[in-house]
Structure 1
Amino acid sequence: MLGRGLRVLGQAIRTEPRLFTIGAVGSSIFGLLIIANSYVVGFVIGHVVVPAFAAGRVGAGELATIVAILLGIAGLRVATIFGRRLGAGYMQFRLQARYRRAVTRRYLSLPPAWHQRHSTGSLLSNATSDVEAAFVPIAPLPFAVGTIVMIFGAVISLFVTDWVLALIGVALFPSLFALNLAYSRRMSPRQIHAQRMRAKVSSVAHESFDGALVVKTMGREADESRRFGVFVAELRDALIAVGRLRGLFDPLMDTLPSIGTLAVLLIGTWRLQQGAISVSELVSVAFLFTVLAFPVRAIGWVVGELPRSVAGWERVQAVLAAEGDLAYGQAGLPGAGPAELAFEQVSYHYEGGPEVLHDVSFTVPAGKTVALVGATGSGKSTIAALAVRLVDPDTGTVAVDGVKLPDLAAADLAAATALVPQVPFVFDDTIRGNVALDRPDIDDERVWTALRLAQAQTFAAGLPAKLDTAVGERGTSLSGGQRQRLTLARALAGKPRLLVLDDATSAVDPRVEAAVLGALRGPDAGASILVVAYRRATIALADEVVYLHRGRVVATGTHTALMASQPGYRDLVTAYEKAEQQ
């Protein structure tokens, strides 16, 4: 654990060498000033205070000189404390900010398949508490480095003063290091367990928040509270275990220097009687031991936080080293206007599950609307994800205008395609912010055009502040249909050449849905459309229908032709229609 922890600290130092140098130099000077201060105090006692008691007076000049020296040392110590804390603080917060950004960028680059294997709460913990934990030892690190410099300086000064008293220091300092090492060994599993429980509590809490509506409507508040309470209690017990060990360690760290001070006074008195040392030297050594306790604890702080640091660091590194990236090419899309989408013998399976698509082949001609129809679990949403390359197929190819999706540059693919998912996501922002997403090429005129195409212009214009109206977290002030139309407008604002709608209008009434699809087929949209459809009226608007059954394309054709030739398709569409009428 000590070795792993030191490697984390080494990585931190290599990342921010300048700030570490500022903190370490300031701390080292501070430690040397403590030694100097001890000998100044000894000099004052031996050469000013004792003679003053003997003579019954003290010279004003001597007193002024001593005060000036002590104030000068105090001023230098204040300056070095400022340098130490400035370097350590900046270093810690810069590292935390750097790695939070790195983790977030990695999240954005990893495909949905990776995210599906990790809970949202765990991902939040990686980017927050794990990053914070990884660099907790950075705050006391420069102080600990300065303390080591101070200890070496103190040992040298002790040997210069008196070798017998120096042996006490030589015995004391290894004892302090041994105590820190034993503490680290016992603290390590406790800190690792506590850090894991922090992530678990975060994960369960996030799941509870997301499922608040289900919990409330099903009357499961007490059960959910008990479930959450189990993990909170385990985290509490883990933190108490950490606190108990720390509570035992801290008094021991305070006791050892005190024992050293008593030993110095006892043996120092004997050495003084022998004439081996002077009063000044005895006072200097005794004072030095009394002020060592607090700086030496900085080493304990670093060592004590190393297990937690290692646990956080390894969890962060697991994210940064995660595999599964989608590699992009450099190709662009030729031409302009609606693009053609082609699936050719595409098969796909989710990790750990059976194959969900088998040799799927179909085409969405440029400027046409194609509807995907199939029972639940037939692979429609998977096809939608493949069409915009959220995932890659196991076998087969997906191409836009004849260019395979992996060959496209990421920016070209994002500009040419847009997906509107089943569950709309609305940011805690204004109408304008949700549609434009800070894209510099989207002005208010383009926002209104997108809202009009999505049949959202009327409700947006009726809001109190129109485009400046804040919609609340996840669009809480909007209805389900309004949220769907707002997310559709977001996709249309980018003027995609291929628009994929994964049951994106299920929350609006059939009349509005027909108006939306009618607008999308007009010249203003300028996109080919692949739509996952359930409603008969929606399916009928498509130029062609692809009928899926258990991950296979059973038939393609017009709605009328499939109704006549495919009993399974006819039964499915009829069942949807009957369900809507009920």
Structure 2
Amino acid sequence: MIGKGLRVLGHAIRQEPLVFTIGVAGSALFGLMTVVSAYVIGAVVGSVVLPAVDSGAVGVAALAAGAAAVFGVSVLRVFGILGRRLAAGAMQFRLQATYRRRVTRRYLRLPLAWHQKHQTGTLLSNANADVEATWYPIAPLPFAVGTLVMLVGAMTALFLTDWALALVGVAVFPAVFAVNVAYSRRMSPRATRAQQLRAEVSAIAHESFDGALIVKTMGREAAETTRFEAKARELRDGLVAMGRVRGLFDPAMDALPNLGTLAVLVVGSFRLASGAISVAELVSVAFLFTVMGFPVRAIGWVLGELPRSVVGWERVDAVLRAVGDMAYGTERLDGAGRPATLEFDQVSYSYPSAEPDEEPPTVLRDVTLRVPPGRTVALVGPTGSGKSTIATLAARLVDPDSGAVRIDGVDARELSAESLAATAALVPQTPFVFDDSVRENITLSRHLDGTGDGAAVDERVWQALRLAQADGFVAGLPEGLDTEVGERGATLSGGQRQRLTLARALAGRPRLLVLDDATSAVDPRVEAAIL
């Protein structure tokens, strides 16, 4: 687990080398000044305090020099802390933002079939909780690397001071790493389980909120609450299990430097009695072990978070490495203003099965059809006969297993993404309305007139609304096009949402319009006017 975690940290360093270098430089400055401060304190004790005790008088010049040395070292430590914390924070948040964008872009590139096999709550968890968990150790990482520099300096100073005291350090510091190895081995499976449970809790919550209307109308509030509570209790128990391990680990990490200080005082007293070291040297070494306790904890923080980081990385990496991209071509169709021709040539399609060893169900087999330009064709058939599948294939939301879908004689797979979006538009069975204004729901920030002129865009929007028989109710809204429609169009009726979705497609003036039962919630009289 530690090896995997270090590889994740190495990946982070390669992503942000400059910021990491600044953080490590600040941390190394802090660490070295921590070692220096111990010997400055020892020197002040030996050169100022002890002579003052012996003579009964304080030398002003020596006291001022000692104070200046302590102040100078403290100022440098402050600069080291600032550099370390600012760089560590910037590195962590930049990595989180970068990987949230990468995961989201990956979601957009993956085909519809991939999304249908993954719960929305899990996908949300990948982009949020898993990304955060992956880069959680980054905050203490520069501090931990700087601490290694400090340990090297401390061990060098210890051996230069006294070999016996140095052996105490040699015994204490490896013990820190041994404790961390044992901790990582015990924490890894618990962290994996907890991270999976986070995704499951998120998935249940998203499903319940998404189906709030059904839950309410069917009186399933208690059942949904119980379902969520059961999974939340599992997550709680998983986090408590992690907390128990962490509760044993933290005191051990706290105790090791303190035990080192105690050992230094015991061994140092014998060395002092034998005349091998001076009082100033004993004070320096004891103080060094005391102030090193907190920096050494940074190593524990990094190693302690590695199991969680590795689990988060594996879940994020699974999304980034997911296969099934829909590659676009470079062909462009030049037929603006003219209807397009749609052709299916021996098209077969099977939906991916939920289980790897299951045979995927075949929905379409060797379908051939041709829709001439300007023609309106209706597909009629029983539920599950493949009507919606033909609609998604026509708009190239999915690709056929065999055969070809052509628009104006060009295979849809050879068209560029921009050309395909400008040529074909699909209005699905279930309308989706964004939590935004009517205008933004229709334009989707597209420059519909090619210039972005506000008045021209609004005129294009009203034209689309009139075609969709939606101009009447939009004109009656409190703020017209600027009216906020709420999450998923909560302030609109089902028929109004469908007409708004249809207007969105019409606003782009597609040459091929595919309607997948897009007027099912519309009044028959209005539906006749639309068609």
Please state how far the C-alpha of 1:225 moved relative to its aligned partner: 1.2
Q: Give a deviation string over 1:364-397, Cα, whole Å, max 9, x none.
A: 1101111111111111000000000011111221
Say whether the 8 Å CA contact 2:162–2:277 is kept in structure 1: yes
Q: How far apart, CA to CA, are the structure 1 residues paired with 2:271 and 2:159?
A: 14
Please state how far the C-alpha of 1:230 moved relative to its aligned partner: 1.3
* Other-structure match for 1:349: 350
Please state how far the C-alpha of 1:398 moved relative to its aligned partner: 0.9
Q: How far apart, CA to CA, are the structure 2 residues paired with 1:178 and 1:36?
A: 27
Please state how far the C-alpha of 1:62 moved relative to its aligned partner: 2.0
Q: How far apart, CA to CA, are the structure 1 residues paired with 2:105 and 2:97?
A: 12
* Other-structure match for 1:496: 510
Matched, 1:421 2:428: yes
Matched, 1:206 2:202: no
| Secondary structure at the counterpart of residue 338 of structure 1 | coil
Counterparts in 2 of 1:74-473, with a 5 A limit?
A: 74-336=74-336, 337-352=338-353, 353-442=360-449, 443-473=457-487
Q: How far apart, CA to CA, are the structure 1 residues paired with 2:275 and 2:361?
A: 89
Please state how far the C-alpha of 1:118 moved relative to its aligned partner: 0.3
Q: TM-score, normalising length from structure 2? A: 0.96
Which structure has the bigger radius of gyration?
Answer: 1
Say whether the 8 Å CA contact 2:23–2:83 is kept in structure 1: yes
Q: Equivalent pairs: percent with the same residue?
A: 68
Q: Give a deviation string over 1:60-92, Cα, whole Å, max 9, x none.
A: 222222222211111111111010011111000
Q: How far apart, CA to CA, are the structure 2 residues paired with 1:297 and 1:146?
A: 12
Q: How far apart, CA to CA, are the structure 2 residues paired with 1:109 and 1:94?
A: 23
Letter aligned with residue 448 of structure 2: D
Letter aligned with residue 467 of structure 1: L
Please state how far the C-alpha of 1:276 moved relative to its aligned partner: 0.8
Please state how far the C-alpha of 1:213 moved relative to its aligned partner: 1.5
Letter aligned with residue 292 of structure 1: M
| Secondary structure at the counterpart of residue 365 of structure 2 | strand
* Other-structure match for 1:524: none
Say whether the 8 Å CA contact 2:341–2:372 is kept in structure 1: yes
Say whether the 8 Å CA contact 2:448–2:507 is kept in structure 1: no
Letter aligned with residue 371 of structure 2: V
Letter aligned with residue 152 of structure 2: F
Q: How far apart, CA to CA, are the structure 2 residues paired with 1:27 and 1:52?
A: 36
| Secondary structure at the counterpart of residue 478 of structure 2 | coil
Q: How far apart, CA to CA, are the structure 2 residues paired with 1:378 and 1:360?
A: 12
Please state how far the C-alpha of 1:441 moved relative to its aligned partner: 3.2
Please state how far the C-alpha of 1:177 moved relative to its aligned partner: 1.0
Q: Give a deviation string over 1:33-74, Cα, whole Å, max 9, x none.
A: 000000000011111111111111112222222222211111
| Secondary structure at the counterpart of residue 360 of structure 1 | strand
Q: Give a deviation string over 1:302-344, Cα, whole Å, max 9, x none.
A: 1111111010101111001011111211111133311011112
Q: How far apart, CA to CA, are the structure 2 residues paired with 1:454 and 1:335?
A: 23
Letter aligned with residue 341 of structure 1: L
* Other-structure match for 1:51: 51
Q: TM-score, normalising length from structure 1? A: 0.88
Letter aligned with residue 61 of structure 1: A
Runs of 4+ in 1 over 3 A off after TM superposition: none
Q: How far apart, CA to CA, are the structure 1 residues paired with 2:371 and 2:519?
A: 20
| Secondary structure at the counterpart of residue 496 of structure 2 | helix
Please state how far the C-alpha of 1:409 moved relative to its aligned partner: 1.1
Letter aligned with residue 529 of structure 2: A
Q: Give a deviation string over 1:432-486, Cα, whole Å, max 9, x none.
A: 1100101123511111111111111111111111111100011011111110011
Letter aligned with residue 11 of structure 1: H
Q: How far apart, CA to CA, are the structure 2 residues paired with 1:262 and 1:308?
A: 34
Say whether the 8 Å CA contact 2:344–2:405 is kept in structure 1: yes
Q: How far apart, CA to CA, are the structure 2 residues paired with 1:188 and 1:319?
A: 21
Unaligned runs of 5+ in 2: 354-359, 450-456
Letter aligned with residue 494 of structure 1: G
Q: Give a deviation string over 1:93-139, Cα, whole Å, max 9, x none.
A: 00000000000000001110000000000000000000110000100
Answer with 286-295 or 345-354: which moved more.
Answer: 345-354
Q: 1:505 aligns with which of 506, 519, 530?
A: 519
Unaligned runs of 5+ in 1: 518-582
Q: Give a deviation string over 1:535-573, Cα, whole Å, max 9, x none.
A: xxxxxxxxxxxxxxxxxxxxxxxxxxxxxxxxxxxxxxx
| Secondary structure at the counterpart of residue 380 of structure 2 | strand
Say whether the 8 Å CA contact 2:425–2:512 is kept in structure 1: yes
Q: How far apart, CA to CA, are the structure 2 residues paired with 1:404 and 1:132?
A: 42
Answer with 133-142 or 457-466: which moved more.
Answer: 457-466
| Secondary structure at the counterpart of residue 374 of structure 1 | coil
| Secondary structure at the counterpart of residue 358 of structure 1 | strand
Letter aligned with residue 503 of structure 2: A
Q: How far apart, CA to CA, are the structure 1 residues paired with 2:364 and 2:161?
A: 83
